[in-house]
Amino acid sequence: MREISTLTIASYTTKPEGVNPMLELRKGDDILSTVGGITSITEAQAILKDKLDAENFSKISKITNTEALIKIANAINMCAPDHVFINTGTPEDQQWIRDYSLSQEEEAPLTKAGHTIHFDLPQDQARLVNQTYYIINEGEEMSSLAKSLLRPEALTYIKEYMPNVMQGKTMIVGFYSRGPVGAAAALPAIEISSSGYVLHSAEILYRNCFAAFDAEAARTGLFFTNVHAEGDNTSADVPNARILMDRSWGTTFSTFCTYAGNTLLLKKGNHRFSVDYATYYKLEEQLSEHMFITGMTGPGDRITFFAGAAPSGCGKTTTAMVGSHFIGDDLAQIWLAEDGTMRAINPEKGIFGIVEDVNQEGDPNLMDCLRGDGTEVIWSNVLVNDGVPYWAGNGEETPQSGVNFQGEWFPGKTDAEGNPAPISHKNSRCTLLASAIKNHATDLAEDPAGVPVKVVTYSGRDADTMPPVWVAKNSNEGVVIGASIVSRATATEVGATGVRRQPWANAPFIPGALADYMKAQFAFYNSAKFSDNNAPIMAGLNYFLTHENRGSNEAGILGEKKDVRVWLGWLELFAHGDVEAIDTPIGYLPKYGDLKILFAGIDKEYPRELYDMQFALYIDNILGRIQLQKDAYSKEPGIPQTLFDVYNQQEKDLLSLKEQFGAIALPQMLAA
């Protein structure tokens, strides 16, 4: 093994002004090392030499980062696998992982070349929010929406369940970059798991950076570490499953589950750490968001980039793929660049997309990959009949039999409560490379410079209150749009029901106090470092208004999936000053004539009555929503007064509008 260089942790030791002392990195016991028992590089090297065969030892010898080697050795010492496989991301190593996953029956081949099926246990079909905890130190302020565990309690769990958990198994170790290597907001991470499926997914979803890992860890001053063990993978074990995230040490532990949202913690586990890092260590410089990134082509072939937040299961992937230059569908690492522009990269390079309701009509490009040839796809929790996957809402004929996440399926099958058993789970997913999608702008997505973002959007599942699109008049109002997202619960979290507040659609992934995150939003979007005209416009989007809530005789959602193109198209024009808008208390609304033209562009009539239903301000609903937010935020300590100022002003203006026009203000009244 080569000489081990010492890592300098610049970002950890110097704390910028304004940082909340409540999040101190490297504070308290490093649980992985406490349980693994290894503290020096000499001990770590001895373990690696002892436990790795010659080939894998030779691979790991290329990694010189002392801390990384100690962490890997600790994971080995703790989990006691029979074998260790070091994944360097070569085609041979990738193939080994695919074969391993098949040999362990974590995946099974489907008829189409490159397609496999993976089933998670029926109890493990989505993020296990009630079994997900942040590991914290005594006295640390936490998000009121998250669960936390004090360090000693977490240590007790890990000591009980993780030692020897990989006996009889192979541990796989992979090195990834969350973003194009070298990008200002990219961070490296290590994924360690006994699951071939988890590493197979990691290879599709993240950039393997084995060769660049040392340099990236040195450049950024930190990396994250994820340790997952599925154990025996039985339903009886799922109650013992835990997803534990050590904020102070950037380490995650995941046990007794397989669903990628619970196990591939490169994704939401490390996203949470990135949110912490941006909030407490990169104030005014960076944001870490639950956002798609996509480009829309406007007049003269200009490309305008959007970054948009939406809660899980609310159409983020569909929106992203509507763009002419699709970059990412789930996460965005954002920074304010030297040139005064807002830049974004996708920390991922693949899609872990919900398949329910994906069909030719709404998602033609994704369908080409799913039903066409030539794309590697890992399917999860769908129905398989004769080697072919089927899912609810695919717009195709449903077979009369098959196997899904609940075993044999047949028409008329019911669950224990007598409800019809679905052909596929609502959160069943497909995992594939983003570059397989026809409109993916792969070169731009791989550029460490990121793409310049001109439009930021926020959306939820809101059946009765906000219009399909509206634009904040300034950045404070924009931040408040993000703070005010509400959404109906979706199938992406186990046990979630009802309508809930979903601040920035990022709330499930904000570890610290919401007030701190909000301050970071105000600081970023109001930064004086934005050059002229380069601060983004900020908008709300809502695809879920219903006929019922707009006094119509019809039922269901107003409009359809493909209308997204119009809402984004209008924002593209508005961002460049190419269309005028109606000034209202909640922000700027589109004019009917401009939308009619854009609808004609997607071959649709756009009747005036539909516009009126979509854009009339239902003032009491909006006031009710503001009150809900004010009540909730006033219980949260330290919320910036600016938020309340914006709400109060909107309330005042809405009340005077109501006095003038009544409870329902039609857009043409406002335009007058």
Nearer to ligand SPV, 263 or 584 (CB): 263
Joined tokens for residue 164: 């020897």
The answer to whether residue 492 forms part of the interface with ligand SPV (CB under 6 A) is yes
Q: Which of 378, 412, 347 is nearest to 177 (CA)?
A: 347
For ligand SPV, the binding residue among 119, 157, 253, 352 (CB under 6 A) is: 352
85 exposed, middle or buried (CB, 10 Å; 0-12, 13-18, 19+)? buried
Nearer to ligand SPV, 284 or 330 (CB): 330
**Least distance between ligand SPV and beta carbon 261 (Å):** 2
For Mn ion, the binding residue among 64, 270, 312, 476 (CB under 5 A) is: 312
Give the type of residue at 8. Answer: T
Q: Where are the beta strands (DSSP E) in 418-532?
A: 429-433, 451-460, 469-471, 486-488, 499-501
**Least distance between Mn ion and beta carbon 509 (Å):** 8
The count of chain residues that interact with Mn ion, using the rule CB under 5 A, is 2
**Least distance between ligand SPV and beta carbon 575 (Å):** 26
The answer to whether residue 268 forms part of the interface with ligand SPV (CB under 6 A) is yes
Binding span for ligand SPV by CB under 6 A among 179-187, 260-268, 453-461, 531-539? 260-268
For ligand SPV, the binding residue among 51, 267, 426, 473 (CB under 6 A) is: 267
The three-class DSSP label of residue 532 is coil
The answer to whether residue 260 forms part of the interface with ligand SPV (CB under 6 A) is yes
On whether the CB atoms of residues 332 and 289 are closer than 8 A, the answer is yes
Q: Report how far apart, in Å, the C-alpha atoms of 245 and of each of 9, 202, 266, 509, 603 are.
A: 20, 18, 11, 11, 49
Joined tokens for residue 444: 């731009």
Binding span for ligand SPV by CB under 6 A among 62-70, 85-93, 236-244, 259-267? 259-267
Q: Where are the beta strands (DSSP E) in 361-482?
A: 377-380, 383-385, 388-390, 402-404, 407-409, 429-433, 451-460, 469-471
Nearer to Mn ion, 88 or 312 (CB): 312
For ligand SPV, the binding residue among 115, 127, 501, 658 (CB under 6 A) is: 127
The answer to whether residue 261 forms part of the interface with ligand SPV (CB under 6 A) is yes
Nearer to Mn ion, 124 or 330 (CB): 330
**Least distance between Mn ion and beta carbon 178 (Å):** 14
Q: Which of 365, 347, 345, 323 is nearest to 568 (CA)?
A: 323
Of residues 424-443, those binding ligand SPV (CB under 6 A): none
Q: Which helix (H) or strand (E) holds 253?
A: strand 251-255
Nearer to ligand SPV, 222 or 314 (CB): 314
According to DSSP H, which parts of 414-496 are helical?
A: 442-445, 475-483
Give the Cα separation of 192 and 70 in Å (integer).
13
261 binds, among Mn ion, ligand SPV, none (CB under 5 to 8 A by kind): ligand SPV
**Least distance between Mn ion and beta carbon 312 (Å):** 5
On whether the CB atoms of residues 531 and 341 are closer than 8 A, the answer is yes
At residue 164's C-alpha, the angle toward residues 158 and 169, to 5°, is 125
Joined tokens for residue 639: 């919320």
Site string for Mn ion, 313-332 (x = CB under 5 A): -----------------x--
Nearer to Mn ion, 36 or 353 (CB): 353
The full DSSP string for 82-135 is SEEEEE---HHHHHHHHHHHHHTTSSEE-SSTTEEEE---TT-SSB-GGGEEEE
314 flagged as catalytic: yes
Give the Cα separation of 464 and 452 in Å (integer).
33
Nearer to ligand SPV, 487 or 492 (CB): 492
The answer to whether residue 289 forms part of the interface with Mn ion (CB under 5 A) is no
Site string for Mn ion, 198-237 (x = CB under 5 A): ----------------------------------------
Nearer to Mn ion, 262 or 312 (CB): 312
Give the Cα separation of 656 and 661 in Å (integer).
9
At residue 481's C-alpha, the angle toward residues 480 and 487, to 5°, is 120
325 binds, among ligand SPV, Mn ion, none (CB under 5 to 8 A by kind): none
The answer to whether residue 330 forms part of the interface with ligand SPV (CB under 6 A) is yes
323 binds, among ligand SPV, Mn ion, none (CB under 5 to 8 A by kind): none
Nearer to ligand SPV, 177 or 431 (CB): 431
**Least distance between ligand SPV and beta carbon 352 (Å):** 6
267 binds, among Mn ion, ligand SPV, none (CB under 5 to 8 A by kind): ligand SPV
The three-class DSSP label of residue 177 is strand
The answer to whether residue 348 forms part of the interface with Mn ion (CB under 5 A) is no
The count of chain residues that interact with ligand SPV, using the rule CB under 6 A, is 9
For ligand SPV, the binding residue among 65, 170, 312, 502 (CB under 6 A) is: 312
Nearer to ligand SPV, 260 or 479 (CB): 260
Query: What residues have CB less than 8 Å from 284, skipping those under 6 apart?
Result: 336, 520, 523, 524, 527, 529
**Least distance between ligand SPV and beta carbon 542 (Å):** 18
Cβ-defined contacts of 501-507 (< 8 Å, 24+)? 501/628, 501/629, 501/632, 502/311, 502/460, 504/289, 504/290, 504/309, 504/458, 505/290, 505/291, 505/309, 505/310, 505/311, 505/314, 505/458, 505/459, 505/460, 506/275, 506/289, 506/290, 506/309, 507/143, 507/145
**Least distance between Mn ion and beta carbon 264 (Å):** 12
352 binds, among ligand SPV, Mn ion, none (CB under 5 to 8 A by kind): ligand SPV
Catalytic annotation, pick one of 79, 209, 314, 430: 314
CA–chain centroid gap for 266, Å, is: 11
127 binds, among Mn ion, ligand SPV, none (CB under 5 to 8 A by kind): ligand SPV
Establish how many alpha carbons lie within 13 A of residue 649's alpha carbon, considering only the half-sphere containing its beta carbon. 14
**Residues carrying an active site annotation:** 314
- Write out the residues near Mn ion by the rule CB under 5 A: 312, 330
Which residues contact ligand SPV by CB under 6 A? 127, 260-261, 267-268, 312, 330, 352, 492
